[in-house]
Structure 1
Amino acid sequence: MNPATALAAVLVDELARCGLTDVVLAPGSRSTPLALAVHADSRIRLHVRVDERSASFLAVGLARRGGRPVALICTSGTAAVNFHPAVVEAHESGVPLLVLTADRPPELRDTGASQTVDQVKLYGTAVRWFSEVGVPEERPGQVAYWRSLTCRAYQRALGPCDPGPVHLNVAFREPLVPDGDESWCEPLERDGKGPWVRARTAAPATALHLPPTRRGVLVVGDGATGTRRYVAAAGMAGWPVLSEPSGGARYGDHAVSAYHFLLGTPEFAGAHRPDVVVTLGRPSLSKPLLNWIGQAGEHIVVAADMTRWPDPTRSATQVVQTVEIPVAAGDDAWLRSWRRAETAARDAIDGVMDASGLSEPRLARDLAGMLPDGSLLFSGSSMPVRDLDQAMRPRRGLRIMANRGAAGIDGVVSSAMGAALAHPGPSYALMGDLTFLHDQNGLLLGPREPRPDLCLVVVNNDGGGIFSLLPQAALRDPFERIFGTAHGVDLGHVAAATGTPYTFVDEPGGLERAVRGEGVRLVEVRTDRESNAVLHTTMRDTAHAAVLATLS
């Protein structure tokens, strides 16, 4: 057996023993040994994508929803470079990813050889661990090295305290295809089940016990874990729960869904300075919320990894791995005040949206409200997730995810595809037109590829709608060209090019019917950027007036 085939067979076998179930492959020549080994292993589900960037974000979606490492394979050269945005997203959001980049052997590097770039530590500090595997050789001891290295890479990606991407650079000399000779200097196969090396999880950390207080708030951002326990504890303590859509805690009697408007009202924010704020995950969507957190007497950040914790406001007073929220004596005036303002703001913005026709905030609200229990909703990271944050009512039974680690618009179609492939129920995605067009190659699915049940809802305002809500909108002369970026693309034609079923919606009542169906499908909703900016201003002003009325 040639060394390239031997290494690939051992590496893939050990990954499957560790628990790997999905591999995403961007085809190429130098990665042939790995591709053949994965294709031959019935324990692994293979996904093939011709676009490396689409492939890498598909892997991010699979790993984000599945909660365990997904392997990502490519050939040498710029193919590996095209993985970089997805690796950065996985790094920032703690998604377990195993990046296996095939490479040329050392004697071909720095010689002008085709498809040869410097891949050593290609992703810099955006990976949890890097290893140059080394060119395989037929000599005793290689199998133990390969299996041990594979286990370490898998476990480091998995965490458990700090999951994220791991990069193995695998150099292969030719021949790259099996040569028919099965002999090797030591056994390549092994008996038994399970991984070569078993990593043991450290004992749970001692919890921080907070002193009892009624004036506390639980804030839940993207990527939060253990939310059910904390939401239940906050409920017992009489605390309001302020959860971003992808935080997974916007449900129950204590959920305050209009916090963006409440805390954007200075009089309310000033009258509701908390004794303590406990944050889970990475809150990042609402500037009023982030400004208000800094006013807390105590700000407890809960983070599994004590070397990396989210604190964009630099207001954390303590960082802990776990915290106990005690029940406090006293009346519920604090919670009632939040609920009263929540009801007033909610009614105000719902009234504005109901009178707005098919607006972007209404689309986000109505879509999140109508999806069946057990659904997944994958959101774009620009306006859609902010519209969900400001407009979505509390509800149970809906899993919301987004690429909020680096919060870029790239790879959302592919990430949604991956998440849908890992989700056991129906899946949906909400994104803007630029986000969709940026990753339209995510619709390229070969006839033999696993196909998810995913409805892509695309808000088409012919450009970058979020900029109309930013100070750049005042720059009237250059605005449209360098920020608005109108494209004029017919999304129906894009769908037709890939054979994707397409529906156009132009009135609110048509949305629920349009999203029905099975398989991959596209729903387009046309909106206007300037009207959307006016609507957001009206929602803010109406909500602020309603909140002020609760304080009188």
Structure 2
Amino acid sequence: MNPSTALARVLVDELARCGLAEAVVAPGSRSTPLALALVAHPEIRVHVRIDERSASFLALGLARASRRTVALVCTSGTAAANFHPAVLEADQSRIPLLLLTADRPPELRGTGANQTIDQIELYGTAVRFFTEVGVPEPVPGAVDYWRSLACRAWAASIMDRPGPVHLNLAFRDPLVPDDSEAGQEWPEPLAGRANSRAWIERPAPPQEPAPMELPPVERGVIVCGDGDYDPLPYLALAAETGWPLLAEPTSNARRGDAASSYRQLLAVPGFVARHEPELVVSVGRPGLSRQLLAYLRRASRHVVVGDPRSFDDPVRTATDVVPAVTAPRDATPHSDWSASWWAAETAARAATDALLDEEEALSEPRLARDLAGQLPNGSLLFAGSSMPVRDLDAAMEARCGIRIIGNRGVSGIDGTVSTAAGAALAHQRDGGGCGYALLGDLALLHDQNGLVIGPEEPRPDLAIVVVNNDGGGIFSGLEQAGHPDFERVFGTPHGVSMERVAAMADLPYTRLEWATDLPKILLGEGMRIIEVRTGRVDSAALRRRLQDTVTRAVSG
């Protein structure tokens, strides 16, 4: 076989031995050897997308939900550049991706050859490992090099700090297999090790170091920020100590007795003054609300649970960084501190629900609360950046049985539809239930191509619930709202109905107006769009009323 085909087949075979099960391909000519090798492999499910940005975020969603490395393939030129936003998100969110970018051979670079850019270290420090693989040649040692490189790249994507890895592969013509070359001999066998073993096998990671025993303080707080970690130890810590658990939605720790109204409580100056913490224990990346970040600054001691080489401390208040924690000896869940927090939480929750239930027409906060509360057990919910995830943070009640994820690494608007689709595909392949996405209108418009899926491609069961307030709703609650040019520069009205978007992609469409209709709307199958129309000004006013209502409830 020709050298380009040999490299692609060997590389794909070795990656499958390492554990590769999913790959996303954006079509192109120079990447032909990789695309054909992937679709021919029986153990790899391949997804094809016509848009590289959508393809990259689809891979991101697949990897995020499955917690396994996903391969991503493109041709040379700007195709590889379109991967960059997803690479940045994978870097910050520690999601394993394997970027296989095809390239022109060295003799065509810098010559004005078509579709050629400098792809060497294209993604800079955002990747864990980069290699310019080199032009394949039928020389001794080539197969050993390709197989060992595949194992190194795989390990770099998942070990220590998971993240993206980049292999740049230069292919010379011919790019397609030629039957007449079937008898061409190589100086060494192309096959891998016997019994489907990987070229390099690695031992299991070492045991985790001993956890730190926390000091015996009464006024402790547990903060669970965004991240893919086991929330159970922190729920147990809260149960043993009585310390309030402040859990962002994508921490998946908002269960049991977690304080679901902390966002509003921490915006009440009197409450914060009465609840100065002695100790904060945080895990994941907190940062969804200014109130929570400000509260982190008030503790004299801040214990961060994470890797000492790479941990999240956005306000730089960490005093200790440890791999795990345990409750203090003789900890008790009953104290004046816990009683005070729980009384405030109960009052705030009741005030929130009473206000949101005043009208049957769906407001944005009520939609977030009811959607999260009514999803069937086993569901996956993707929360869009900007207001959807913040409305979940403000209104969602504590519950078990669902998994919530979002692109919180760099919190971009990019690729949200594609990420949600990829996450739903992986979730359902692993036996999970239906997928749901709560997005804003601009996020959907920004990734309309994510709705375009070919007839032969795997399709997720994914209900995309779109809040259409004709623009950028998050800015209506910020300082920019008073500027005379606000509507044009920040509001960005577009006048597009989501029904038109659904028609473009040939998807079922429903408009949802009343809260009582939500349960039956959620029962559909396949990929579909559910539109909820709201007003940006009215939504901002409701959020202010919600805060005022909670303030009165806990200040009386």
Aligned partner of 2:399 in structure 1 is 395
Q: Any conservation in 1 of the 2:240–2:331 contact (CA below 8 Å)?
A: no
* 1:197-255 deviation digits (Å, cap 9, x = unpaired): 122323312322222223211110111412112211221122111100000100112x1
Aligned partner of 2:374 in structure 1 is 370
Residues of 1 paired with 2:45 and 2:358: CA distance?
A: 48
Residues of 1 paired with 2:405 and 2:208: CA distance?
A: 27
Aligned partner of 1:156 in structure 2 is 156
Aligned partner of 1:168 in structure 2 is 167
Structure 1 counterpart SS, 2:417: helix
Aligned partner of 1:464 in structure 2 is 472
Query: Aligned match of 1:430 in 438, 454, 462?
Result: 438
Aligned partner of 2:513 in structure 1 is 506
Aligned partner of 1:27 in structure 2 is 27
Aligned partner of 1:73 in structure 2 is 73
Residues of 1 paired with 2:355 and 2:167: CA distance?
A: 53
Does the alignment pair 1:522 with 2:529?
Answer: yes
Residues of 1 paired with 2:328 and 2:402: CA distance?
A: 28
Does the alignment pair 1:206 with 2:210?
Answer: yes
Residues of 1 paired with 2:255 and 2:521: CA distance?
A: 26
Aligned partner of 1:407 in structure 2 is 411
Aligned partner of 2:452 in structure 1 is 444
Structure 2 counterpart SS, 1:219: strand
Residues of 2 paired with 1:460 and 1:83: CA distance?
A: 28
Structure 2 counterpart SS, 1:378: strand
Q: Tell which deviates more after alignment, 65-74 or 171-180.
A: 171-180
Aligned partner of 1:543 in structure 2 is 550
Q: Any conservation in 2 of the 1:25–1:73 contact (CA below 8 Å)?
A: yes
Aligned partner of 2:385 in structure 1 is 381
Q: Any conservation in 2 of the 1:237–1:328 contact (CA below 8 Å)?
A: no
Q: Any conservation in 2 of the 1:236–1:327 contact (CA below 8 Å)?
A: no
Aligned partner of 1:178 in structure 2 is 177
Residues of 2 paired with 1:536 and 1:548: CA distance?
A: 18
Q: Tell which deviates more after alignment, 2-11 or 183-192.
A: 183-192
Residues of 2 paired with 1:226 and 1:87: CA distance?
A: 24
Residues of 2 paired with 1:86 and 1:171: CA distance?
A: 22
Which consecutive residues of structure 2, in runs of 5 or more, have no partner in the other structure?
A: none
Q: Any conservation in 2 of the 1:233–1:326 contact (CA below 8 Å)?
A: no
Matched AA of 2:388: P
Q: Any conservation in 1 of the 2:20–2:69 contact (CA below 8 Å)?
A: yes
Aligned partner of 1:262 in structure 2 is 265
Which structure 2 residues correspond to residues 325-364 of structure 1 after superposition, within 5 A?
A: 325-329=327-331, 331-356=334-359, 357-364=361-368
Aligned partner of 1:319 in structure 2 is 321
Which structure 2 residues correspond to residues 464-483 of structure 1 after superposition, within 5 A?
A: 464-475=472-483, 477-483=484-490
Matched AA of 1:2: N
Q: Tell which deviates more after alignment, 489-498 or 199-208.
A: 199-208
TM-score, normalising length from structure 2? 0.96
Aligned partner of 1:309 in structure 2 is 311
Residues of 2 paired with 1:188 and 1:234: CA distance?
A: 55
Residues of 1 paired with 2:147 and 2:208: CA distance?
A: 28
Matched AA of 1:518: E
Query: Aligned match of 2:299 in 296, 299, 302?
Result: 296
Q: Any conservation in 1 of the 2:259–2:345 contact (CA below 8 Å)?
A: yes
Aligned partner of 2:251 in structure 1 is 247
Residues of 2 paired with 1:392 and 1:328: CA distance?
A: 33
Structure 2 counterpart SS, 1:186: coil
Query: Aligned match of 2:197 in 194, 207, 210?
Result: 194
Q: Any conservation in 2 of the 1:4–1:136 contact (CA below 8 Å)?
A: yes
Residues of 1 paired with 2:535 and 2:61: CA distance?
A: 30
Residues of 1 paired with 2:229 and 2:463: CA distance?
A: 27
Q: Any conservation in 2 of the 1:3–1:138 contact (CA below 8 Å)?
A: yes
Q: Any conservation in 2 of the 1:78–1:117 contact (CA below 8 Å)?
A: yes
Query: Alignment RMSD, CA only?
Result: 1.1
Matched AA of 1:147: R
Q: Tell which deviates more after alignment, 91-100 or 199-208.
A: 199-208
Number of paired residues? 545
* 1:461-492 deviation digits (Å, cap 9, x = unpaired): 000000000000011x2111110000011211
* 1:400-428 deviation digits (Å, cap 9, x = unpaired): 00000000011000000000001121110
Q: Tell which deviates more after alignment, 187-196 or 76-85.
A: 187-196
Give the deviation of 1:325 after TM superposition: 2.3
Residues of 2 paired with 1:455 and 1:375: CA distance?
A: 11
Structure 1 counterpart SS, 2:178: coil
Q: Any conservation in 2 of the 1:503–1:522 contact (CA below 8 Å)?
A: yes
Query: Aligned match of 2:501 in 488, 494, 497?
Result: 494
Matched AA of 2:540: A
Aligned partner of 1:532 in structure 2 is 539
Aligned partner of 1:143 in structure 2 is 143
Which structure 2 residues correspond to residues 114-133 of structure 1 after superposition, within 5 A?
A: 114-133=114-133
Residues of 1 paired with 2:328 and 2:528: CA distance?
A: 47
Q: Any conservation in 2 of the 1:224–1:282 contact (CA below 8 Å)?
A: no
Q: Any conservation in 2 of the 1:515–1:523 contact (CA below 8 Å)?
A: no
Matched AA of 1:314: R
Q: Tell which deviates more after alignment, 384-393 or 328-337.
A: 328-337
Give the deviation of 1:329 after TM superposition: 4.3
Give the deviation of 1:196 after TM superposition: 1.0
Which consecutive residues of structure 1, in runs of 5 or more, have no partner in the other structure?
A: none
Query: Aligned match of 2:277 in 274, 278, 281?
Result: 274
Residues of 2 paired with 1:234 and 1:368: CA distance?
A: 23
Residues of 2 paired with 1:382 and 1:517: CA distance?
A: 26
* 1:314-351 deviation digits (Å, cap 9, x = unpaired): 10001122222235445422111111000111111111
Residues of 1 paired with 2:158 and 2:312: CA distance?
A: 19
Give the deviation of 1:179 after TM superposition: 2.0
Residues of 1 paired with 2:99 and 2:260: CA distance?
A: 38
Q: Any conservation in 2 of the 1:213–1:328 contact (CA below 8 Å)?
A: no
Give the deviation of 1:142 after TM superposition: 0.7
Identity, in percent, stands at: 59
Query: Aligned match of 2:224 in 220, 223, 244?
Result: 220
Structure 2 counterpart SS, 1:355: coil
* 1:375-406 deviation digits (Å, cap 9, x = unpaired): 10001011000000000000010100000000
Structure 1 counterpart SS, 2:494: coil
Give the deviation of 1:276 after TM superposition: 1.2
Residues of 1 paired with 2:371 and 2:350: CA distance?
A: 18
